[in-house]
Amino acid sequence: MAFPFSVKNESLFFDMRDTEMLCGIHKIQWSGGGGGIMNMVLKDNRQATISPGDNGIFRCSIQLEGGESSPFNLVEGHISISVTYRTLWLISRKSPETDFNWFTGGSSPHWVKGKIAN
């Protein structure tokens, strides 16, 4: 199971070099095979470079026992995302953590930034 997230470089001048995404899983619960995960940190460490104004796609990947082909239905999720990167080849930076929650109350379930009440 992989959850894709887009990271935008808001800078007008500087690349985000060696960009890595940290995915803090507070709670993931799914049906269709049953199961859940709590309190885990995953890292997408592809070390991408994101040019000014561009987006990079990163994944919060979770390995299920049955593999990617196992049927699942995400029923609850609370994760936090942060990004580490370098500017000017040597200045290390880390974004603040941003919370995302799996919203199931609409016609199509999706991730919502911030805290919500289902």
| pLDDT value of position 81 | 92
> What's the CA gap between 70 and 11, in Å, rounded?
40
Contact 101, 114 (CB under 8 A): yes
Query: Mind listing the pLDDT tens digit for each residue in 15-40?
Result: 999 999 999 888 888 876 667 777 87
What global pTM score does this model have? 0.76
| pLDDT value of position 72 | 63
> What's the CA gap between 9 and 63, in Å, rounded?
29
Tokens in use for 32?
């269709």
Instruction: Give residues with Cβ within 8 angstroms of 108, minimum separation 6.
Output: none
Contact 61, 76 (CB under 8 A): no
Which residues of the chain have a pLDDT value below 50? none
| pLDDT value of position 11 | 93
Cβ neighbours around 79 below 10 Å, total = 24
Print the SS3 string covering 22-40: EEEEEEEEEECCCEEEEEE
Amino acid at 55: N
